[in-house]
Structure 1
Amino acid sequence: MGKEHRLALVPRGWTLVLVRLVTGWIFIQYGWFGKLHDPKFVNGMAETLRKMATESSFSFYRPFLEQVAIPHASSFALLVAWGEALLGMSLLLGALTNVASLLGIFMLANLYLASGSWEALLFASLCLVFMRFSAGSRWGLDAALARLLPERLVYFPTR
């Protein structure tokens, strides 16, 4: 047998796993440590949404911000904080990664429409990659969950 290169011994998909873990940790930092444990976040959400509506949102999205999001700012703040924290936990554990990524794309698309934030597009793109390649099935709990739950639920919407 010929000599194998050391990189041939590295398990496939390690790059995707590493990116998934780092992205999960970032969402945990944003949601759990940055927002859920900061009382100023919930209290300041209405002002943040007002600023987004006047300065940086897309014009067709402003009525949603002004008529729905701003009047219910504290509810939206909790949805965003818990959404980021749960998305991060899902990515770290590799559990229901596709479903969490789909919901993350929805949340991040709304953030992009409200703020024009390029970071939201970057993270939404990463969530799309995680969904496309079923990132939780490598070094995650999705492979085990697929044996316990219907595979269509675990790998929704890609299978």
Structure 2
Amino acid sequence: MINTWLRENKIAAYLLTALRLYFGFAWLTAGWGKITGGFSAEGFLNGAIANPVVSHDVAVYPGYVSFLETFALPNVSLFNVLIPWGEFLVGLGLILGCLTTAATFFAVVMNFNFMLAGTISHNPTDVIMGVILLAAGYNAGRIGLDRWVIPFFRKLTGKQEVTAHKTA
């Protein structure tokens, strides 16, 4: 019932737009601050490796720490580009309502990576907002560019457009 309401209701579309704009502004400003402020992930990665999330003196996410040591840190210059531009583009997509589901997916993936590295902050709240937007699907971007972009992609790929029930 709640899923149908999230995915098809017009009132839900307006509420999701407000959530999407708030969430998008947070991502956009975080990314822009890093793009213009000379961001480097090296200190964060070194800190996450040196102080992993532990329980009873054992690393809770040893596979993630290994990923940071063996891939992320040696390729820090790649992450210095991916993180700020990823945050900025996620924010832009959410604000414009363009490819909203994809933007939300990448927002949730980034939030989980930040949490696995030991940063809590507002990340759990962001994951909850992201899950709500993901559950809403197309309705989250209906009041935005997805109104035209999604039908265009469906036509381009030859997939039949799915029409939502009209509910108040």
* TM-score bracket relative to the smaller structure: 0.7 to 0.9
Matched, 1:51 2:33: no
Residue in 2 aligned with 1:113?
A: 116
Is 1:98–1:131's contact at 8 Å kept on the other side of the alignment? yes
Residue in 2 aligned with 1:123?
A: 126
Structure 1 segments, 4+ long, off by >6 Å, are none
* Number of positions where the alignment pairs a residue of Structure 1 with one of Structure 2: 138
Q: What percentage of residue pairs aligned between the two structures are identical? A: 28
* Residue 46 of structure 1, CA deviation: 1.1
Give me the TM-score of the superposition, normalised by structure 1.
0.78
Alignment partners' CA distance in 2, 1:112 and 1:51: 13
* Residue 118 of structure 1, CA deviation: 4.4
Q: Deviations over 1:50-76 (max 9, x none)?
A: 111122444412111111111111211
Residue in 1 aligned with 2:88?
A: 85
Alignment partners' CA distance in 2, 1:77 and 1:115: 19
Amino acid at match of 1:49: L
* Residue 38 of structure 1, CA deviation: 1.0
Alignment partners' CA distance in 1, 2:74 and 2:135: 36
From the superposition, tell whether residues 117 and 91 of structure 1 become closer, same or farther in structure 2 (CA, over 3 Å): same
* Residue 119 of structure 1, CA deviation: 2.0
* Residue 105 of structure 1, CA deviation: 1.6
Alignment partners' CA distance in 1, 2:29 and 2:119: 21
Unaligned runs of 5+ in 1: 1-10, 154-159
- RMSD over equivalenced CA pairs, Å: 2.0
Unaligned runs of 5+ in 2: 1-9, 54-59, 158-168
* Residue 121 of structure 1, CA deviation: 2.3
From the superposition, tell whether residues 133 and 117 of structure 1 become closer, same or farther in structure 2 (CA, over 3 Å): same
Is 1:87–1:100's contact at 8 Å kept on the other side of the alignment? yes
Question: Taking CA–CA contacts closer than 8 Å with sequence separation of 6 or more, which of the two structures ends up with the larger relative contact order?
Answer: 2
Alignment partners' CA distance in 1, 2:44 and 2:152: 43
Superposition map of 1:1-159 within 5 A:
12-13=11-12, 14-32=14-32, 34-39=33-38, 41-42=39-40, 45-57=41-53, 58-60=60-62, 61-134=64-137, 135-137=140-142, 139-150=143-154
Is 1:53–1:62's contact at 8 Å kept on the other side of the alignment? yes
